[in-house]
Amino acid sequence: MTAFGPGPASPDGRIVFTSMRDGNLDLYVSDADGGNGRQLTVRPGYDGGPFFSWDGRQIVGRGWHPTDATELAEYRTLLGQDLVRPSRPRSS
């Protein structure tokens, strides 16, 4: 059986979430009351769906990041309209 995390809240009460507060879809972690917030991702592109590991020591999320200028321009145009294009998984 695989143990998945408790979701966006860790056992010690921290929360992890996606925000556009800096103009991009990035991951952040903070105390449950919103204090002590810290940005975790900074690359242009989508970072979202975060949750904590079962013990709260790791954060898992998903992401998509433009690989060229055309993709970056399209991403920024859609983001300006509060949209994100679904993408196909890429192998790494």
Rounded Cα distance between 92 and 89, Å, is 9
The predicted pLDDT at position 89 comes to 59
Given pLDDT bands bounded at 50, 70 and 90, which one contains residue 90?
A: low
Domain positions in the chain are 15-79
Q: Using the predicted structure, report yes or no on whether residue 2 has a pLDDT greater than 50.
A: no
Average of per-residue pLDDT across 8-28: 91
> How many helices and strands in the chain, by DSSP H and E?
1, 5
Q: Using the predicted structure, report yes or no on whether residue 84 has a pLDDT greater than 90.
A: no
The predicted pLDDT at position 86 comes to 74
pTM beyond 0.95: the answer is no
What tokens does 72 get?
């970056």
Q: Using the predicted structure, report yes or no on whether residue 91 has a pLDDT greater than 60.
A: no
Give the model confidence (pLDDT) of 26-71 as tens digits. 999 999 888 999 999 999 999 999 999 888 999 999 899 999 999 9
What tokens does 17 get?
């979430």
